[in-house]
Structure 1
């Protein structure tokens, strides 16, 4: 097995934008601005982030697109002496794998794309549908939370919509008055950090109990430590206050692959009703978070497009029905575009499906990778 850090990521000349202290300030920035002053503060944060990336690697920043990374993968394939590329990609890795198949369909071997992205969507639509995905995942968490009997967001029988309203009210209290966390660097739990802590737990239903306990501590005891831990895990911040380059690389690639979702705060405000309809809890924050590429130092080189990969071997596209980050409809969409796709569905929670506890999913994928026999199109697992 060979793993590759795409250009700009980890050990492949990583893009670096802000140091640890600067990132601490960035992650605390209010992404639900209430007035012009707070909006200007958010815009300034996005500008500083972008300027930091540009100052670090002005030339590299122009060449970290998914198309270029896919061409790099073909060089890896050739260096290994393989006639075809056998590949497992998850989340963004599905976009990378699909892009490879579109560029080199005759060299695409056994490809598995788990937690699929839809390459035909422009950035605004991509962000809006992802917002719906987080709402779907939160609804599943809300039902589980009240069923446990010790949910800080509502007692047994509380409807998911009311659970969401209670969480939103908690976020608003934090916006007005952040709470202590016991952090060595003196960080308090802000609305933005708490929101990211909740979102982080949506990626894996195994973290729901941890989230429930963290919310209980924060809401009842004014102890934000648990939610801060979850937020730090999402941002990949270590105990020394240093961050991996995950957030930097995400922005660098995404802002090059597609034109920005929004060009100005006014555009975000006009779109807020759609985002808040998609998710009453997360919609506002995720809409404003979609503004970051507006200030990127280099122009996008990619655009949304269908990928058909005509002539490629069977490509297994995997979708999870309540996936927060890559909604199931994206797997359906990608499978509908790829000429040779076989859609494999996991009826469950969490982000991606392979290697996360479903013997049905793992067996279907392993059989394809090891024996070359793909699952039947439309196969469903739970």
Structure 2
């Protein structure tokens, strides 16, 4: 799902709401003495272009062990902490596998749910049927992995539960956009970054998508495949495209669903996503007003005005929850956006609006907590917030100039009058990150790679359709499959047309007719 830093950063998405609801609170257990049925994996032959100090990583044997959930095996892979200096130490990558149900796999299909910061281990272990349809499960070993820094893979750690509550939910004391407010948020972000550096240690510096893509090639090799088979959602499309750029000769069949434009700057991202969520909100309101249990009346524009007034009201008078937290605008915006990932969740959004209008923040906090991975006891069930920050603060370039941020905030408010005013000042969150080296965004061409499928949904709020068009155009061998509909990502979301195209490509290498459009 799209991660929205409270007060600061709006970036790329991870899971559709349905997936998030399924995965929240689920942890795959590892049993060191489990004696799993899989035995050892034989790695693919080491290529001649591999540096000598990387050979031991590529030649390692995997010891698969039974793990929680019938039919799943788990293993741990050692990867270089710093790919430029492999001798400086290693990190652990956690993976989970479901063997091909047909018994004779084409290879391993690696899945990434996005984020950055979402757990692929959780995705496969808890929701394999959602992640991969029957044809893929029949013909591939389905493999979920936690990228470096995520959950079980030498994770980024920053704050305990109490401090994370304060970081995510406490209300700023100064007026939004004022010098005092900017100083307050800058100080909070700096303390968060320092905590991440202190608790995570030296591996934090190397949590980047380029390094995660190199890890992906290592996983391919130790799983025994000469080429990568990959299905990546949302941020996972950027990871997959980065892999294809680094290793075009090893990119087998890649499907990138809910695509990100690699060349988009953080400002471009904020504008496009603000427009995307504003469009999804309008689609929700149109559907709501046509129904019988809508908390709004009148036209879509009038309903938008009501939501704007509600946000203003909460900003002036935050609503207290039973646990002492106060519902302010940032948390309420998170609660609004969360159900917009899937049209199936729109009825719950109506219930949330109705509650907040009556002064009850219960549902709003429930949605925000689900989004933030927080359970009803106040514990955080994953490290998505920490990993999200670690990746994005290195994968983008940020401008700490206050006047530039104010100008960008005005643009967001103009292009998305309801959502946009709360998406500005995103550069603050990474302005004091412990490792200031940041990546310049550029096009990805992956010259020489085999055909790569890009899937885009026409009213995807988190990864707007124009990004899928851009990525398919940039990739030398890219081709676009369009889903005309609502929601974030398209595969296995109800379109037989999309499902058939994805599965035929991954299983048989069949490239669909040019310009395929599904509904």
Q: TM-score range by the shorter chain?
A: over 0.9
Cα distance in structure 2, aligned partners of 1:233 and 1:65:
25
Name the SS for the 1:352 alignment partner: coil
After TM superposition, the score normalised by the length of structure 2 is: 0.70
Q: Within the alignment, does 1:192 sit opposite 2:192 as a pair?
A: no
Q: Deviations over 1:22-57 (max 9, x none)?
A: 121222245871644333322222222222212222
1:205 to 325, 343, 351: 343
Instruction: Please name the residue that 2:255 is paired with.
Output: 112
Instruction: Please name the residue that 1:246 is paired with.
Output: 384
Instruction: Please name the residue that 2:204 is paired with.
Output: 61
Partners of 1:120 and 1:305 within 8 A in 2: yes
2:312 to 142, 156, 172: 172
How many Å apart are 1:125 and its aligned residue? 1.4
Q: Deviations over 1:166-200 (max 9, x none)?
A: 11211111111122333xx3223222111100011
How many Å apart are 1:116 and its aligned residue? 0.2
Cα distance in structure 2, aligned partners of 1:330 and 1:148:
32
Tell me which structure has the larger Cα radius of gyration: 2
Partners of 1:87 and 1:97 within 8 A in 2: yes
Name the SS for the 1:325 alignment partner: coil
Partners of 1:30 and 1:38 within 8 A in 2: no
1:314 to 429, 436, 451: 451
How many Å apart are 1:290 and its aligned residue? 4.2
CA RMSD of aligned residues (A): 1.6
Q: Deviations over 1:269-301 (max 9, x none)?
A: 122221112211121211124431112111234
Cα distance in structure 2, aligned partners of 1:300 and 1:151:
48
Partners of 1:365 and 1:375 within 8 A in 2: no
Structure 2's unaligned 5+ residue stretches are 1-141
CA distance 1:356–1:98, shift in 2 (3 Å): same
Instruction: Please name the residue that 2:484 is paired with.
Output: 347
How many Å apart are 1:108 and its aligned residue? 0.4
Higher relative contact order (CA 8 A, sep 6+): 1
How many Å apart are 1:357 and its aligned residue? 1.4
Q: Within the alignment, does 1:236 sit opposite 2:373 as a pair?
A: yes
Instruction: Please name the residue that 1:372 is paired with.
Output: 509
Instruction: Please name the residue that 1:134 is paired with.
Output: 277
Cα distance in structure 2, aligned partners of 1:99 and 1:36:
38
Name the SS for the 1:175 alignment partner: helix
| Runs of 4+ more than 6 Å apart | none
Aligned residues: 375
Cα distance in structure 2, aligned partners of 1:177 and 1:88:
45
Q: As a proportion of its length, which structure holds more strand? A: 2
Partners of 1:264 and 1:294 within 8 A in 2: no
Name the SS for the 2:499 alignment partner: helix
How many Å apart are 1:68 and its aligned residue? 0.6
Instruction: Please name the residue that 1:381 is paired with.
Output: 518
* Residues 223-302 of structure 1 aligned to structure 2 (within 5 Å): 223-243=360-380, 244-260=382-398, 262-302=399-439
Cα distance in structure 1, aligned partners of 2:335 and 2:225:
42
Instruction: Please name the residue that 1:323 is paired with.
Output: 460
Partners of 2:265 and 2:441 within 8 A in 1: yes
After TM superposition, the score normalised by the length of structure 1 is: 0.94
Name the SS for the 2:327 alignment partner: coil
* Residues 68-147 of structure 1 aligned to structure 2 (within 5 Å): 68-147=211-290
CA distance 1:24–1:289, shift in 2 (3 Å): farther
Q: As a proportion of its length, which structure holds more helix? A: 1
CA distance 1:263–1:36, shift in 2 (3 Å): closer
Instruction: Please name the residue that 1:215 is paired with.
Output: 353
How many Å apart are 1:302 and its aligned residue? 2.1
Cα distance in structure 2, aligned partners of 1:212 and 1:49:
34
Partners of 2:460 and 2:486 within 8 A in 1: yes
2:180 to 33, 37, 41: 37
